Structure 1
Amino acid sequence: MYLKPIRIPFQVRQFEILFQRLNPDSSKRQNVYSQMSKYLAGFKGEKSLDYPLSFLPPDEYLIFHNLRLFDGVHHFQIDFLILSPYFFLILEVKNITGRVSINNHQMIRSSGQIEEAFPNPVIQNARLKEQLSKWLLLRGCAGIPIQTLVVFSPSKSILQLDLTEQQNHICTSDFLPIRISSLRKQYPRTVVNPNTLHDLSKKLLNEHKDLELDIFKQTGAAAEEILTGVRCPKCEELAMSRHSTTWICPACSFESKIAQLTAINDYRHLFGQTVTNGQLRDFLQIPSDSVVRKMLHSYKFPHSGNFKQRTYFLEDHILEQIEKIVAKI
């Protein structure tokens, strides 16, 4: 059973939104596209695990996608964490094409005449195991068996694994249910009671914090290159204009009363959690400060400061509700 379902990570959405709103003439556009493609390929690999994971008994396993926690010194991110009363399992997902070989130090991908080196994912998982163990210890949950697997998603990759130790910690996604079933036989005794699992699950969800990039620093793009305005949900032209309480697209005549919601979410992903009336007014291309003020108050965004110097906080739980509204359009 998913307690944290598979959904596109915050930083991946940052790249998507930046690419959508970046001026087509920007010299950084190709760089943004290249980085975005890598992040999207990683997410595609993670999403592909939804099918093999569906074979797990839902009453036995609790699944968390894309957890990012703090061990007291460092943040650490886990593609999938699976909890059970018998053992915990860390999954690191790889979506790589070509011939893949792994030695004690690194992973090497060969495609044609090109070779690329990557960190050894088995070593990465060993570090994640240590960090998760530390995180659990700090919360009074020591002694729980933790296993790790590097899972290669369906692709045209050809794995070359020479060491038995590597083979024990690596599998393809179609083989994943069998490996988990084997682990279940390896750990037949209950080591965590249901109440502890429930409390621990709440702590995992409460302490998760999305990775949030300084997207302009990451890509070299400039804030001045961002195209402002409200995008039409139908034809996707970034040209809607507001008439009274309705947004109208001049390109296709589509009308909407909530088209600004996606634009507000775009602003959050690009510029951060705080915004002033003037900043949002410029981004939405609305000349009236009173219209934007009513808009911000209607979504109940918290704020600080006096009337003219007020700063609003685009809190993520409110934006999640906004995403759900947009998804129903």
Structure 2
Amino acid sequence: MYQNVLNRYRREKSGYDGERSLNYYFNFLPQNAVFLHGLRIEEMQYTFQIDHLILFPNFFLIIEVKNKAGLINYNSETGVLKCFNNDGTYKRYDDPFIQARIQRFKLKKLLQQSSFTVPPIHTLVVFSHQDAVLEIEGHQPDLIISQRLPWRVSELEQKYSTTYFEKDELIKVGKMLKNRHKPKEENIVEECHIKREHIRNGVWCTNCKKFIMKRYKRNWHCPSCKHKDDYAHLKALEEYRLMFGETIKNSEAREFLQVSKDVARRLLKTTCSTYVGDRKSRVYRLSQT
């Protein structure tokens, strides 16, 4: 079970790191644009997610990010994408442009439904890993490494010369899309069938992150690195919220934080802004930090 969770974490983190790695190159793009990152929109008939959407006055740019290392071969005629391992074996992936084009179609439909002008919508597939080496069979200028992003955008600005939006209009489109944004809600504990007893109780050291801290004289102490932290329980309660939900009882806090009843009550009262019920049946709401 642990290995399955670890593998999923690595996949999620790889995608997240790949998307964030483009932030440096965004500094070299025209700043009259509106930048939207991690956009996810749910509609009645469809849901779509875009890694990066940049709204330029002349065109909109969808960027699909891939964070893969090594030799990457793409055949522009067949759409076959291969990622090679050091031993010469490879893994085949779906054509990344199909996903980007589906995103473009759904974005176009949403803009039309919202009575906005639909400018040209261009799609790029960007490999963000510093060790990625692209080998393209045929002609495909929109499959690039991240370092090429500023130059490719400059080329697109020359290609799309007609202005469709002023800056204030771009901001309106951006606000509409932001208001439609809905983060994906996932419960990893349930999806991975993790039981409550599988989760170790206690407040992990906020410094070395290897040992459970002890509560002593209203402070948290690490028995190994000797680190002290008045507010280490905040991190622990945030982790509880992510795993088990936004509500917690005194008995649950006692068990999870490994503290006494009175200490749990005091920590919850100072940490949680709202609660319901009397003292015996009180339920506290954990706010997002």
TM-score band, normalised by the shorter chain?
0.7 to 0.9
Matched, 1:197 2:173: no
Pairing 1:140-159 to 2, within 5 Å after superposition: 140-159=115-134
Matched, 1:182 2:155: yes
| 2:218 corresponding residue in structure 1 | 245
| 1:74 corresponding residue in structure 2 | 46
Instruction: Give distance in 2, aligned partners of 1:300 and 1:123.
Output: 46
- 2:48·2:106 contact (CA, 8 Å) conserved in 1? yes
Q: Deviations over 1:173-210 (max 9, x none)?
A: 11110111111122223212333322333333343333
Letter in structure 2 aligned against 1:114: T
Instruction: Give distance in 2, aligned partners of 1:196 and 1:313.
Output: 40
Query: Greater CA deviation, 236-245 or 91-100?
Result: 236-245
Q: Deviations over 1:6-48 (max 9, x none)?
A: xxxxxxxxxxxxxxxxxxxxxx222222222222222222222
Pairing 1:69-218 to 2, within 5 Å after superposition: 69-103=41-75, 104=78, 106-111=80-85, 112-164=87-139, 167-218=140-191
Q: Deviations over 1:260-281 (max 9, x none)?
A: 1111121122223333333233
Change (3 A) 1:134 1:240: same
Change (3 A) 1:96 1:311: same
1:299: Cα distance to partner? Answer: 4.1
Instruction: Give distance in 1, aligned partners of 2:230 and 2:182.
Output: 32
1:152: Cα distance to partner? Answer: 0.9
Change (3 A) 1:308 1:107: farther
Letter in structure 1 aligned against 2:61: L
- 1:122·1:169 contact (CA, 8 Å) conserved in 2? no
**Identity of aligned pairs, percent?**
34
- 1:229·1:238 contact (CA, 8 Å) conserved in 2? no
- SS of 2:10 mapped into structure 1: helix
Give the superposed CA RMSD.
2.6
- 1:80·1:91 contact (CA, 8 Å) conserved in 2? yes
Letter in structure 2 aligned against 1:97: A
Letter in structure 2 aligned against 1:248: H
Q: Deviations over 1:97-155 (max 9, x none)?
A: 23323354542222224332222110000111122223333333242321110001144
**Which sections of structure 2, spanning at least 5 residues, go unmatched?**
none
Letter in structure 2 aligned against 1:127: I
- 1:95·1:154 contact (CA, 8 Å) conserved in 2? yes
Instruction: Give distance in 2, aligned partners of 1:147 and 1:105.
Output: 18
**TM-score with structure 2 setting the length:** 0.86
- SS of 2:220 mapped into structure 1: strand
Instruction: Give distance in 1, aligned partners of 2:201 and 2:143.
Output: 46
| 1:8 corresponding residue in structure 2 | none
**TM-score with structure 1 setting the length:** 0.76
- SS of 1:161 mapped into structure 2: strand
Instruction: Give distance in 2, aligned partners of 1:175 and 1:279.
Output: 52
Q: Deviations over 1:76-102 (max 9, x none)?
A: 221111122222111111121233233
- 2:134·2:145 contact (CA, 8 Å) conserved in 1? no
Instruction: Give distance in 1, aligned partners of 2:276 and 2:177.
Output: 30
Instruction: Give distance in 2, aligned partners of 1:296 and 1:85.
Output: 50
How many residues are matched?
Answer: 286
1:229: Cα distance to partner? Answer: 1.1
Matched, 1:295 2:276: no
Letter in structure 2 aligned against 1:260: H
**Which sections of structure 1, spanning at least 5 residues, go unmatched?**
1-27, 320-329
